[in-house]
Structure 1
């Protein structure tokens, strides 16, 4: 990033996950690293019982739906309800009220993997209000734009599990191009039977929770939720507002090498480009929020890269606590990155210290206090989708 590049700041955030609704519950869950999983109901004959997954608590779901309807968004699927609720809370966190002139041209971009999964699956089953169902993935972003009351650009990106980081990149690009001064961006994915059946077909889910970077790791733990961040240009910052962090860069790439497996060369290239675009070097990175799915290949690719290229960085992976939020995973990681910068604390990974592989400096057990300047957030997905965001502290 050159000195003349316009600066972009994170001024507001909110998240809904198996931890519940809100930043406090999310941060507390990450710091305790107690897995928030439940047994999933088998969806067809022959699907073995006992597979674990993460679900948003019923009370948080009801709160999200109530807030969405109060904002004038009706007949919304769960993904829309999660995204709208988080967007409204993130704006409040940024000190922005609905109707603020700054929001009239705000850009909205929401990343998702499965879109309006519940609406679509209900329509396929012939259930619910099919005439009023909003099964297009675009309706997730449309719902947020309606709630925010913006006439600015609004769109969805679907880059599998890298989607939310891709949405962040769109927000940064729009602000730096002068299209808008505020971007409401993030990711949202609701529980999807199709998703669960797909992972089961790959034998990627089971009765053991995700244990990132652990020897003998076996399963991914699918989950649901949303995370939304408010990005602002430097000139739009209001007096008295202290941003959570500066977003230096978001790098997006696709190596298209395999339908499901990470490609080591493609992932390494994304890391190098991310550092160059942020104007930093690997030695500057203090903390890495790994994609860390707990799968054999993903963790090996990331782990070997961290050990060789980022030996000084503390590494953590939150999917062992809240699960894999699919298209919202990058947003959860981005929010966790900003919370880590604010608190000067790295939350632990739900993996036993004596099981850690690859020589990675994985934070386990309890949170680690540290002087933190730069945090990197990884999000990778099927089809070779790679996206990395890098944040810098705004604290003196």
Structure 2
């Protein structure tokens, strides 16, 4: 088996538009939640979100390309350019065919479709622009990233609802293991804060109802949790074989140890209350990573803050690890639920926790004794983190768990 390592990271998030700012704000417990500005919610009771602020795509892309691409794609390009700079990796004619892209999204260009539909209904079919389809298609982010940086290896898009961003990292790991590339640009991106998605999620029920106090609205694993806050953003990672990274003298952040996917085969939106699929994903991820339960120091939880999802995830954690569980935290309390980018955000936090031996807190936390999980609540914890797992569970019962470790080479 080849060793797969992470050598660069980029991030566009509601609490910072680069990895350093993102990490600093996680540690101080800063919430990115606030009043909606991306659209007018009207009389809708759900009017808060974790929006990306002060993002200027012109720093990363040509104006013409910006006009023809979705906000999520712009996030992906920005995060990738940051990650490449961070990794000191130059893409040239000599290596471009061995560098691939695996950028995930849960909703693709759903906002572009919504806006185009409004024009179609309110005005005329003639007002629908020719770039609606290419900007809205799910694979746009991966393709535009590959064109922006010149990567001509495997280019693919993963879509696994809220587990998409994490799935892309795991699939990139497999591409590298199979020798289909020397380097993979992997991560997730999402921008789906719109009237349509808020109406749908609002009527479905998972959004937090505490809109009068947005920064306290998302409370994963807390006894008073009542829903998530929608988020957006992108994370991109440079993953490469250890051999390739060492040959070019790259700084290595952490190692991707392995991971696993399972399906619930239960319901399109609700998790299996038995937690069978989630616990099997954790168990298989440990096995494929050559880890025992006692080897895990930290769990970056899916932790949405909904009553049922947190209950089922806690059950899965107890089923695998017993009690006491490993230290557990959910950054969605600060960055919201970025859907297809959420797993990649958590992966970045896991890598930084391993590197810095500090666990970011789950803010707004009040213990729920029924859950039986050792949650790092409200304050960061200095703690030796050598190995961490990241959970990501998506609509449709798609469960993805990956393990990361301290690089000891």
Range into which the TM-score falls when normalised by the shorter chain = over 0.9
Aligned counterpart, 1:306: 317
Do the aligned partners of 2:354 and 2:388 also contact (CA within 8 Å) in 1?
Answer: yes
Do the aligned partners of 1:109 and 1:185 also contact (CA within 8 Å) in 2?
Answer: yes
Matched residues in 1 for 2:250 and 2:199: separation?
Answer: 45
Aligned counterpart, 2:283: 272
Q: Does 1:318 align with 2:331?
A: yes
* More deviation, 318-327/28-37: 28-37
Q: Does 1:231 align with 2:239?
A: yes
Indicate the SS of the match to 1:169: helix
Equivalent of residue 86 in structure 2, options 93, 102, 105? 93
Do the aligned partners of 1:116 and 1:140 also contact (CA within 8 Å) in 2?
Answer: no
Aligned counterpart, 1:39: 35
- What whole-Å deviation, never above 9, does each CA across 1:165-205 have from its counterpart, x for those lacking one? 11112111111111101000111111332322211011222
Do the aligned partners of 1:214 and 1:356 also contact (CA within 8 Å) in 2?
Answer: no
Cα 1:149/1:256, change in 2 over 3 Å: same
Cα 1:274/1:325, change in 2 over 3 Å: same
Aligned counterpart, 1:295: 306
Do the aligned partners of 1:86 and 1:227 also contact (CA within 8 Å) in 2?
Answer: yes
Cα shift at 1:70 = 7.1
Cα shift at 1:318 = 0.3
Cα shift at 1:304 = 2.6
Aligned counterpart, 1:102: 95
Question: 5+ unaligned residues in a row in structure 2: which ranges?
Answer: 121-126, 212-216
Equivalent of residue 18 in structure 1, options 11, 14, 20? 14
Q: Does 1:27 align with 2:23?
A: yes
Indicate the SS of the match to 1:383: coil
Aligned counterpart, 1:82: 75
Q: Does 1:210 align with 2:218?
A: yes
Matched residues in 1 for 2:345 and 2:21: separation?
Answer: 13
Cα shift at 1:72 = 6.1
The number of residue pairs the alignment matches comes to: 388
Matched residues in 2 for 1:69 and 1:322: separation?
Answer: 28
Aligned counterpart, 1:8: 4
Q: Does 1:171 align with 2:172?
A: yes
Aligned counterpart, 1:338: 351
Q: Normalising by the residue count of structure 2, what TM-score does the alignment of the two structures yield? A: 0.89
Equivalent of residue 220 in structure 1, options 209, 228, 232? 228
Do the aligned partners of 1:53 and 1:221 also contact (CA within 8 Å) in 2?
Answer: yes
Q: Does 1:197 align with 2:199?
A: yes
Cα 1:347/1:147, change in 2 over 3 Å: same
Indicate the SS of the match to 1:252: strand
Matched residues in 2 for 1:317 and 1:82: separation?
Answer: 22
Aligned counterpart, 1:145: 146
Do the aligned partners of 1:186 and 1:331 also contact (CA within 8 Å) in 2?
Answer: yes
- What whole-Å deviation, never above 9, does each CA across 1:75-110 have from its counterpart, x for those lacking one? 111011000110111011111124273333311111
Indicate the SS of the match to 2:27: helix
Q: Does 1:347 align with 2:346?
A: no
Indicate the SS of the match to 2:60: helix
- What whole-Å deviation, never above 9, does each CA across 1:362-396 have from its counterpart, x for those lacking one? 11122111111101111001100100110000157
Do the aligned partners of 2:259 and 2:286 also contact (CA within 8 Å) in 1?
Answer: no
Indicate the SS of the match to 2:260: strand
Matched residues in 2 for 1:80 and 1:352: separation?
Answer: 33
Q: Normalising by the residue count of structure 1, what TM-score does the alignment of the two structures yield? A: 0.92
* More deviation, 210-219/199-208: 199-208
Cα 1:307/1:70, change in 2 over 3 Å: same
Aligned counterpart, 1:248: 257
Cα 1:65/1:388, change in 2 over 3 Å: farther
* More deviation, 385-394/297-306: 297-306
Question: 5+ unaligned residues in a row in structure 1: which ranges?
Answer: none
